[in-house]
């Protein structure tokens, strides 16, 4: 069976092909019409239960053509229509395979997961991404938290306002605007406005990547952490992510930043940059990378630097706002243990998290999912850190080597940068195109969930885990962990 196809999809497509076969083999009007009636019932069931989605449209067209076969007495026309029907059915199968309604990994903690939204305005900062005088920086927070009421609250889907998010993600790509609308049918583990569990929980702040990122872009990870007793705050960074949805507006990825990122750097810079991953020595790799960055036009580098600094400022603002944080339906304040706060992020969000934790005493631990920016190069972290990185990305080792506190470096082999958020499981097509590494997407995300949970449990809760003890404890051949413990005051390795 085609991965991603459900029983109703299979019933509809099978009924279409069966109708074509019957109309060709037994072209009696009564038999053909009965077959057409059966396939119409299958289509009605599919629409009523699953609802329409673009992947099935070729099957609906095939249904119309299949019905027309029974109305024609010309043998050549029936065979021609049959050919079109088979092609359309094949297109439907290909679309279902390429963009499936996928299933998110189950959470494994002791709690059910609730989720809510909070919207903040930083009145001390002007919005640098708009030209409107007086605009202030606005953030949309998606928050996940432990709940002891599994069935309380509203069921939620992966994408809310799926059309808006799909248009935002596909802007500037060859993909049509409706490509990701089916994500509005993907189930998640959390329930909106579920009752928060009794107790006080550590707080984690998550930041997404630049451009394609969004606040729930690591849903399996954040829900998993919430199920283990964390309040996880996903920050929707306006104009930095693909789309940030407010009650009264939607902010999209900044067009000038998008243009800068889509601008091909000078060939001499690209020649240097292409050779970075072929260098096996981390120090030399960093040296060459920094040389390429120094040669990068400011029109390109400046926009990325601006996004990084904006995320850092956003993170600091959220940290300052924790004591008064509450949604309209869930009072989070009494349940947040503000003595146990950690940051983590994907790509540039991970870079920002490390820089923010480098000079903020509130931060007790930080995890970085494959992010590196030149501003990280001089960091000497005094808080425990976990850096996860893709195959060949040795630049992140600089933070591991210079850390003044316990540090962990986790390479997940056979991965690319896009394996470190939910794109890893959205489509098997991405792996075929080389966007993803050869590792099974769910396995890669599971490794991330296990190690990040163990890391924060260890440094925010004092719960030791064999996963953090070194290579001998790794549970996957794809996970290569190196650790350094620095416990003395001067940062020397004991």
Going by pLDDT thresholds of 50, 70 and 90, the confidence category of residue 490 is very low
* Helix H or strand E segment including 124: strand 112-126
Phi/psi for 202 (5° steps) reads -60, 155
State both tokens at 47: 């629409």
Q: What is the pLDDT of residue 40?
A: 73
DSSP 319-343: HHHGGG---SS---GGGEEEEEEEE
> Which residues are bridge partners to 157 per DSSP?
187
State both tokens at 258: 């998008």
* DSSP symbol at 104: P
Q: What is the pLDDT of residues 7-50, one digit of tens each?
A: 777 777 777 777 777 666 655 666 666 666 777 777 777 777 77
Indicate the length of the chain as a whole number.
Answer: 494
* DSSP symbol at 105: P
Going by pLDDT thresholds of 50, 70 and 90, the confidence category of residue 396 is confident
Q: Average pLDDT of 127-134?
A: 90
Distances (CA, A) of 123 to 134, 271, 463: 10, 44, 39
Q: What is the pLDDT of residues 38-55, one digit of tens each?
A: 777 777 777 777 788 898
DSSP 149-194: -TT-SEEEES-SSHHHHHHHHHTTSSS-TTTTGGGGG-EEEEEETP
Lowest mean pLDDT among 82-91, 98-107, 176-185, 415-424: 82-91
Q: Residue 29, class by beta-carbon neighbours within 10 Å (0-12 exposed, 13-18 middle, 19+ buried)?
A: exposed
**Shortest CA distance to 12 belongs to which of 68, 66, 74?**
66
SS3 assignment, position 233: strand
Q: 112-484: what fold?
A: Rossmann fold (3.40.50)
Whole-angstrom distance, CA of residue 43 vs CA of residue 59? 9
Its pTM stands at 0.91
Q: What is the pLDDT of residues 272-324, one digit of tens each?
A: 877 777 787 878 888 888 888 888 888 889 999 999 999 999 999 999 999 88
For the chain, domain boundaries: 7-98, 112-484
Instruction: State CA 275 to chain mean position distance.
Output: 28
Whole-angstrom distance, CA of residue 39 vs CA of residue 43? 6
**32-56 as b/e, with b when 16 or more CB fall inside 10 Å?**
beebbeebeebbeebeeebeebebb
What rounded mean pLDDT belongs to the chain?
87
The helix-helix angle for 57-69 and 7-25 (nearest 10°) equals: 20
* DSSP symbol at 77: H
Whole-angstrom distance, CA of residue 83 vs CA of residue 76? 11
């Amino acid at each position: 069976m085609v991965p991603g196809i459900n029983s109703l999809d299979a019933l509809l497509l099978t009924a279409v092909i069966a109708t074509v076969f019957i109309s060709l083999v037994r072209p009696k009007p009564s038999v053909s019409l009965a077959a057409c009636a059966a396939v119409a019932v299958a289509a009605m069931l599919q629409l009523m239960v699953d609802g329409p989605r673009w992947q099935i449209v070729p099957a609906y067209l095939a249904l119309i053509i299949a019905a027309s076969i029974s109305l024609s007495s010309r043998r050549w026309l029936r065979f021609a229509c049959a050919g079109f029907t088979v092609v359309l059915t094949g297109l439907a199968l290909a679309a279902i395979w390429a963009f499936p309604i996928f299933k998110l990994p189950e959470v494994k903690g002791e709690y059910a997961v609730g989720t809510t939204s909070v919207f903040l305005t930083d009145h001390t900062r002007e919005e640098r991404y708009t030209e409107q005088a007086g605009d202030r920086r606005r953030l949309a927070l998606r928050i996940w938290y432990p709940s002891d009421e599994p069935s309380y609250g509203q069921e939620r889907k992966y994408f809310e306002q799926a059309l808006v998010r799909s248009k935002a993600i596909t802007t500037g790509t060859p993909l049509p605007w409706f490509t990701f609308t089916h994500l509005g049918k993907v189930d998640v583990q959390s329930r909106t406005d579920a009752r928060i569990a009794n107790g006080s929980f550590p707080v984690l702040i998550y930041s997404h990547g630049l451009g394609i990122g969004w606040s729930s872009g690591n849903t399996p990870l954040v829900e998993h952490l919430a199920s283990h007793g964390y309040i996880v705050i996903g920050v929707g960074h306006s104009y930095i992510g693909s789309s940030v949805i407010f009650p009264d507006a939607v902010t999209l990825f900044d067009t000038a930043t998008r243009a800068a990122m889509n601008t091909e750097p000078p060939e001499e810079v690209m020649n240097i940059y292409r050779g970075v991953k072929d260098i096996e020595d981390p120090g030399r790799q960093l040296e060459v990378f920094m040389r390429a960055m120094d040669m990068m036009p400011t029109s390109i580098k400046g926009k990325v630097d601006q996004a990084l600094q904006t995320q850092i400022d956003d993170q600091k603002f959220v940290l300052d706002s924790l004591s008064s944080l509450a949604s309209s339906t869930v009072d989070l304040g009494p349940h947040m243990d503000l003595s146990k706060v950690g940051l983590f992020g994907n790509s540039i969000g991970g870079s920002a998290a490390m820089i923010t934790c480098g000079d903020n005493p509130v931060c007790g631990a930080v995890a970085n999912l494959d992010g590196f920016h030149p501003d990280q190069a001089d960091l000497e972290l005094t808080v425990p850190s976990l850096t996860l990185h893709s195959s060949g990305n040795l630049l992140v080792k600089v933070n591991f080597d210079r850390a003044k506190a316990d540090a962990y470096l986790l390479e997940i082999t056979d991965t690319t940068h896009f394996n470190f958020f939910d794109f890893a499981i959205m489509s098997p097509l991405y792996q075929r195109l080389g966007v993803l590494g050869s590792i099974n997407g769910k396995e890669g995300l599971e490794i991330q969930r296990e190690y990040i949970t163990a890391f924060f449990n260890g440094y925010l809760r004092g719960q030791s885990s064999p996963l953090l003890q070194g290579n001998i404890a790794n549970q996957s051949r794809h996970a290569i962990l190196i650790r350094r413990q620095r416990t003395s005051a001067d940062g020397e390795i004991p």
